[in-house]
Amino acid sequence: MAASSQQISRSPGDSPWQVFLHSLIHMPWTWRIMLGYLAVMLFLPTAAMLTKASGIGLAEFWRIATSPIALSTYDVTFTTSLIAALIDGVFGVLVAWVLVRYDFPLKRFIDASIDLPFALPTAVAGLTLATVYSENGWIGSLFAPFGIKIAFTRLGVGIAMMFISLPFVVRTVQPVLMQMERETEEAAWSLGASALETFWRVLLPPLFPAILTGVALGFSRAVGEYGSTVIVSSNTPFKDLIAPILIFQRLEQYDYAGATVIGMVLLILSLLMLLVINFIQAWGKRYD
Amino acid sequence: MTNSVIDASLPPSGPIPQPGDARTKSWVPAVLIGVAILFLGFVLYIPAINVFYQAFHKGIGPFLKNLKEPNFLHAIQMTLALAAIAVPLNTIFGLATAWALARKRFRGRTLLLSIIDLPFAISPVVAGLMIVLLYGRNGWFGGWLQAHNINIVFAFPAMLLATIFVSMPFVAREVIPVLEEEGLDQEEAAYTLGANPWQTFWRVTVPNIRWGLLYGILLTNARAMGEFGAVSVVSGNIAGKTQSLPLYVEEAYKGYETEAAYSAAVLLALLAVVTLVVKEVLEQRTGGYRKKVH
**Axis crossing angle, helix B124-135 with helix A204-224, rounded to the nearest 10:** 40
> Residue A171 and residue B1: Cα distance in Å, rounded?
52
Query: What CATH number should be reported for the domain whose range is A58-287?
Result: 1.10.3720.10
Task: Mention every residue, 6+ apart, whose C-beta is less than 8 A from residue A37.
Answer: B89, B93, B96
> Residue A144 and residue B218: Cα distance in Å, rounded?
40
pLDDT at residue B107, rounded to an integer: 85
**Axis crossing angle, helix B124-135 with helix A44-54, rounded to the nearest 10:** 80
Residue B46 to residue A116, Cβ atoms within 8 A: no
For residue B29, the chain A residue with the least C-alpha distance is: A102
Asked if B151 contacts B236 with a C-beta cutoff of 8 angstroms, the reply is: no
Tell me how crowded residue B3 is: count the other CB atoms within 10 A of its CB: 7
Q: Which residues of B touch A224 (CB under 8 A)?
A: 122-126
For residue B46, the chain A residue with the least C-alpha distance is: A132
Q: How far off is chain A from B245, nearest CA to CA, in Å?
A: 9
Mean pLDDT confidence for A81-107: 95
Q: ipTM of this model?
A: 0.88
User: Which of A34, A56, A159, A254 to probe by mutation at the B interface, max B CB count within 10 Å?
Assistant: A34
DSSP string, chain B: --HHHHHHHS-SSSPPPPTTTTTS-THHHHHHHHHHHHHHIIIIIHHHHHHHHHHHBTBSHHHHHHHT-HHHHHHHHHHHHHHHHHHHHHHHHHHHHHHHHTT---TTHHHHHHHHHHHHHS-HHHHHHHHHHHHSTTSTTHHHHHHTT---TTSHHHHHHHHHHHHSSHHHHHHHHHHHHH-SHHHHHHHHTT--HHHHIIIIIHHHHHHHHHHHHHHHHHHHHH--HHHHHHH---TTTS--HHHHHHHHHHTT-HHHHHHHHHHHHHHHHHHHHHHHHHHHHTTS------
Q: Which of A48, A94, A267 lies closest to B122 in CB terms? A: A267
Q: What is the pLDDT of residues A139-189, one digit of tens each?
A: 999 999 999 999 999 999 999 999 999 999 999 999 999 988 888 888 888
Is the pLDDT score of A199 beyond 80?
Answer: yes
User: Which of B37, B110, B133 to probe by mutation at the A interface, max A CB count within 10 Å?
Assistant: B133
Residue B121 to residue A271, Cβ atoms within 8 A: yes
Of chain B, the end-to-end C-alpha distance in Å amounts to: 60
User: Which of A49, A124, A152 to probe by mutation at the B interface, max B CB count within 10 Å?
Assistant: A124
pLDDT at residue A11, rounded to an integer: 54
* Mean of the per-residue pLDDT values of chain A: 90
Asked if A177 contacts A100 with a C-beta cutoff of 8 angstroms, the reply is: yes
pLDDT at residue A82, rounded to an integer: 96
What does residue A128 show for φ and ψ, rounded to 5 degrees? -75, -35
pLDDT at residue B25, rounded to an integer: 64
Quick check: helix, strand or coil at residue A133? Answer: coil
**Axis crossing angle, helix B70-101 with helix B170-182, rounded to the nearest 10:** 30
pLDDT at residue B234, rounded to an integer: 94
Q: What 8-state DSSP symbol labels residue A120?
A: S
More confident residue, B239 or A14: B239
Q: Which of B29, B37, B129 lies closest to A263 in CB terms? A: B129
pLDDT at residue A190, rounded to an integer: 84
Asked if B175 contacts B94 with a C-beta cutoff of 8 angstroms, the reply is: yes
Residue at A226: amino acid letter? Y
Q: Which residues of A touch B96 (CB under 8 A)?
A: 29-31, 33-34, 37
Asked if B162 contacts B231 with a C-beta cutoff of 8 angstroms, the reply is: yes
DSSP string, A73-113: HHIIIIIHHHHHHHHHHHHHHHHHHHHHH---TTHHHHHHH
Residue B36 to residue A44, Cβ atoms within 8 A: no
Q: Where are the domains of chain A?
A: 16-54, 58-287
Asked if B242 contacts B155 with a C-beta cutoff of 8 angstroms, the reply is: yes
Q: Which of B93, B226, B279 lies closest to A121 in CB terms? A: B226
Question: Exposed e or buried b for every residue in A127-148, given b needs 16+ CB within 10 A?
Answer: bbbbbbbbeebbbbeeeeeeee
Q: Which residues of B touch A282 (CB under 8 A)?
A: none
> Residue B233 and residue A260: Cα distance in Å, rounded?
13
Beta bridge partners of B59: B57
- Alpha-carbon separation of residue A277 from A42, A210, A216, B107 (angstroms): 22, 10, 6, 21
pLDDT at residue B62, rounded to an integer: 84
Q: Which residues of A touch B275 (CB under 8 A)?
A: 119
For residue B34, the chain A residue with the least C-alpha distance is: A98
Beta bridge partners of B290: none
Nearest to B249 by CA among B236, B266, B235, B273: B266
Mean pLDDT confidence for A267-286: 88
> Residue B33 and residue B198: Cα distance in Å, rounded?
52
For residue A242, the chain B residue with the least C-alpha distance is: B125
Low-confidence ranges of chain B (pLDDT < 70): 1-25, 287-294
User: Which of B42, B79, B129, B282 to probe by mutation at the A interface, max A CB count within 10 Å?
Assistant: B129
